Amino acid sequence: MSTKLLLVRHGRAGHRSRWEGDDRLRPLSRKGKEQAEKLVGLLRPFQPARVLSSPYLRCVQTVEPLAGALRLDVVDADELAEGNGRKAIELVRGLTESDDTVVVCTHGDIVPEMLEHLASADHLHLPRDARWPKGSAWVLSASDGRFDHALYLPPPA
């Protein structure tokens, strides 16, 4: 089986320190909404069959335009919430059991933990200057349950 995982870090959401409410409800900024709209053109060609997201509003809002364009639902996955690196890795491992292309939107603490784990466990080659700014994506390919190729997509301008 061959799987593609589109690992997305949520778009810009303003400064956490300036948000007075529950951080789970912090929305995308104007720039983040623009990034979300532009991600449609960047990720749609991969023809994702599923869209999973951290339940945090900024993550859901990042992939809603893509899901809408593909006529898919955004499925909340608690495993992708901040601080759930180990659970997120387990979730992603389970996704390799299908031939689907899946979008996974998560946070800045999860992306590097996942990439580092896959580099170590699967010998996934990452560039020395691997990065994950807000609104960026990684196209991760897996075959036979192991991730073997990574392509970095910078955030849309």
User: What is the radius of gyration, based on Cα positions, of the chain?
Assistant: 14
Whole-number pLDDT of residue 17: 65
Given this structure, which CATH class describes domain 2-153? alpha beta
Could you tell me the two tokens for 22? 């529950």
Q: At 20, phi and psi to the nearest 5?
A: -95, -15
pLDDT at residue number 58: 96
pLDDT tens-digit map of 53-105: 999 999 999 999 999 999 999 999 999 999 999 999 999 999 998 889 999 99
Q: What is the pLDDT of residue 51?
A: 98
Query: Alpha-carbon distance 18 to 20, whole Å?
Result: 6
Could you tell me the residue ranges of all domains in the chain? Answer: 2-153
Dihedral angle of Cα 122, 105, 40, 93, to the nearest 10 degrees: 30
Confidence of residue 130 (pLDDT cuts 50, 70, 90): confident
Model pTM score: 0.95
Mean pLDDT in the chain?
94
Distances from the Cα of 153 to the Cα of 1, 8, 21, 106, 147, angstroms: 24, 9, 31, 15, 17
Closest Cα to residue 49, out of 72, 75, 76, 80? Answer: 72
